[in-house]
Amino acid sequence: MANDIFSEGTLDSLVAQAVAEIPDVDIRILNVQNYHIPSDYVVVESKFSSDNYGSEIRGVIKPIIEEAENKGCNPNLHTALYEAVLNAHQHGNKLNPDKKVKICYKITDNIAEIGVVDQGGKFKVAFIPFIFKHKRKDHEANFIDFYRFAGLQKPATNNGTGTSFMHTYVDNVSYFRSEEGGLVVHITKSF
């Protein structure tokens, strides 16, 4: 049977073809409410180099993960948070070592709430149906990396699986615009 032409989960749908006409979404110009960091969140701001950022990210998130794990959180939170910060640096900040990634978080006895804020404000329009697929949990049965989903060439330094890992390892992933116009990825994990 053929695919539904209004499905956003396939590359040959009308939605995917229409989305492919627009290269990027600039959330800085959209008329949406801004995400405000709650006053009871801890805020950590970091800049990452353009060549050794993987280990730098692990160093920044280590105390946050340890705090959550000491309260009983599953170690999978590490993967989700690492991927959120990695995506913010790679895709949001375009590996610019002068741009900051802000991690704001609150960890209680039974939940970790973490916002990761970049200074980019743009993403590929194909990311929209990719997120819809994840919000419906379709990625669990039909795992696909972003580049394959979007019909894009996969770069040598990126697998396109970070968003899928985030949606797999935490209870909720939400997306917002920051007060400065960057993308906020907010993850929550109950334990």
Q: What is the pLDDT of residues 95-111, one digit of tens each?
A: 999 999 999 999 999 99
Cα 71 to Cα 47, 68, 110, 176, 180, distances in angstroms: 28, 5, 7, 27, 32
What confidence tens digit (pLDDT) does each residue in 116-150 have?
Answer: 999 999 999 889 889 988 998 988 888 889 999 88
Cα 32 to Cα 38, 175, 183, 185, distances in angstroms: 18, 11, 12, 15
Lookup: tokens for 120 = 């980019």
Range in 9-23, 47-61, 161-175 with the lowest mean pLDDT:
9-23
* 30 secondary structure, DSSP code: S
Q: Which domains does the chain have, with CATH numbers?
A: 14-190 (3.30.565.10)
Contact 39, 45 (CB under 8 A): no
pLDDT at res. 9: 57
The pTM assigned to this predicted structure is: 0.91
What confidence tens digit (pLDDT) does each residue in 47-74 have?
Answer: 999 789 999 999 999 999 999 999 999 9
